């Protein structure tokens, strides 16, 4: 009997992941729309807390201000990336010449094919692909933008009726309180994660910008933006966000590797201090998620949904951990996903 249950569980799990992969074009816009809807509500809550004396902004004005702020921010980021990519393309030839000069100075240069090395590095320095991926992820897959806007609109329109629908659907006050408790915990934990991650990423981006600006590295603004965005991808994002400014420093320098190592060590120090020491202490205490599970979750959702899945992997892990923790049969899985095995749940 136990073997049969295990086989059924394995089959169901395989079917779920197969469905997630096959239905990617259908599900991903909806998931991103839900994420945008949540962020709009989060911004609206922030506007609602603003006080001008005894005056408080009406709810409708809070949502209008939140939507306008959200749309304007995304539009400005996309415009900035597009302009910066055009500027970067215009100096590629000069950077390639500097790389060739640096390569020829190396004592082992005559034993290695310079053309292959230069072509590889200049290809890596072409940020069009990675920045386009980040922009597409941040603007919710441009080809599905109309569908996502429709989803967000309906979610905003329907959210006022959610409580009534939940009551009618469950029709049991005790079960309803349990479901509301789960949803409240999910909302609170995701809000903690977004707040902590935003603060950590913004701090890393600002410090990196100051460093790059003082060192005279070109396109310091776009590297700071790239560091801010990629830091929302656990571990891998930080590594990628460190490599590209360092390569830029190497390409623009014509007097050796000093600038390259200064940028590499400087940004790595910021990433380690903020991302590997300060942030885990705060996030671990707030969310209680195992770093190993986060990395596995990153690889899993990256394989299923690509770059958008990497951005969404931690919120999705938070949701699954909380839901699994509230059911006795799945609670052991939630314990394995936690840092210390302790779960913050309401007893049945």
Q: Give the model confidence (pLDDT) of 218-271 as tens digits.
A: 888 888 988 998 888 887 888 888 888 888 888 777 666 788 889 999 999 998
Q: What angle, rounded to 10 degrees, do the helices at 236-252 and 258-270 form?
A: 160
Quote the pLDDT of residue 142.
Answer: 57
Percent of the chain with pLDDT over 90: 6
- Residues of 229-268 as b/e, b for ≥16 C-beta within 10 angstroms? bbbbbbeebbebbbebbbbbbbbbbeeeeebbebbbebbb
Taking only the tens place, the pLDDT of each residue in 139-177 is 445 567 778 888 888 888 888 788 788 778 877 788 888
Q: Which structural domain, as residue segments, surrounds residue 325?
A: 22-337
Mean pLDDT of 312-326: 86
Mean pLDDT of 72-87: 76
Mean pLDDT of 92-116: 59
Domain count, the chain: 1
- Is 45 contained in some domain? yes
CB-CB contact of 220 with 87 (8 Å): no
Average pLDDT over the chain reads 78
User: Tokens in use for 95?
Assistant: 């950077």
Rounded distance between C-alpha atoms, residue 309 and residue 158, angstroms: 26
- Is 321 contained in some domain? yes
- Is 323 contained in some domain? yes
- Is 10 contained in some domain? no
Quote the pLDDT of residue 281.
Answer: 66
- Is 274 contained in some domain? yes
More confident residue, 50 or 64: 64
Quote the pLDDT of residue 136.
Answer: 53
- Is 143 contained in some domain? yes
Torsion, Cα 189 191 197 201, to 10 degrees, reads 180
CB-CB contact of 283 with 276 (8 Å): no
Predicted TM-score (pTM) of the model is 0.77
Rounded distance between C-alpha atoms, residue 339 and residue 243, angstroms: 30
- Is 254 contained in some domain? yes
- Is 342 contained in some domain? no
**CA 315 vs CA 58, 297, 301, 335: distances in Å:** 30, 10, 11, 17
């Amino acid at each position: 009997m136990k073997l049969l249950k295990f086989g059924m569980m394995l089959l169901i799990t395989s079917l779920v992941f197969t469905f997630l992969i096959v239905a990617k074009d259908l599900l991903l816009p909806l998931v991103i729309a839900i994420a945008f809807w949540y962020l709009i509500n989060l911004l609206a809550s922030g506007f609602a807390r603003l006080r001008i004396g005894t005056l408080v902004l009406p709810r409708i004005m809070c949502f209008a201000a939140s939507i306008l702020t959200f749309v304007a921010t995304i539009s400005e980021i996309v415009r900035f990336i597009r302009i910066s990519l055009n500027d970067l393309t215009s100096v590629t030839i000069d950077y390639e010449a500097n790389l060739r000069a640096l390569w020829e100075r190396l004592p082992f240069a005559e034993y290695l094919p310079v053309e292959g090395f230069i072509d590889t590095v200049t290809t890596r320095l072409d940020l069009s692909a990675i920045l386009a991926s980040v922009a597409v992820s941040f603007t919710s897959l441009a080809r599905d933008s109309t569908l996502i806007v429709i989803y967000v609109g309906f979610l905003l329109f329907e959210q006022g009726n959610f409580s009534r629908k939940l009551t009618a659907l469950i029709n049991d006050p005790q079960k309803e309180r349990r479901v509301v408790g789960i949803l409240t915990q999910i909302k609170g934990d995701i809000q903690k994660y977004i707040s902590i991650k935003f603060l950590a990423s913004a701090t890393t981006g600002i410090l990196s910008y100051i460093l790059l600006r003082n060192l005279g590295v070109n396109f310091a603004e776009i590297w700071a933006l790239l560091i801010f965005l990629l830091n929302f991808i656990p571990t891998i994002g930080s590594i990628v966000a460190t490599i590209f400014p360092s390569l830029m420093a190497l390409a623009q320098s014509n007097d050796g590797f000093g600038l390259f190592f200064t940028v590499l060590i400087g940004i790595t120090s910021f990433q380690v201090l903020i991302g590997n020491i300060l942030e885990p202490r705060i996030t671990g205490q707030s969310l209680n998620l195992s770093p190993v599970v986060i990395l596995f979750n990153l690889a899993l959702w990256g394989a299923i949904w690509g770059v958008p899945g990497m951005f969404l992997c931690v919120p999705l892990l938070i949701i699954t951990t909380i839901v699994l923790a509230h059911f006795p049969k799945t609670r052991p899985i939630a314990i394995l996903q936690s840092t210390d095995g302790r779960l913050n749940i309401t007893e049945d």
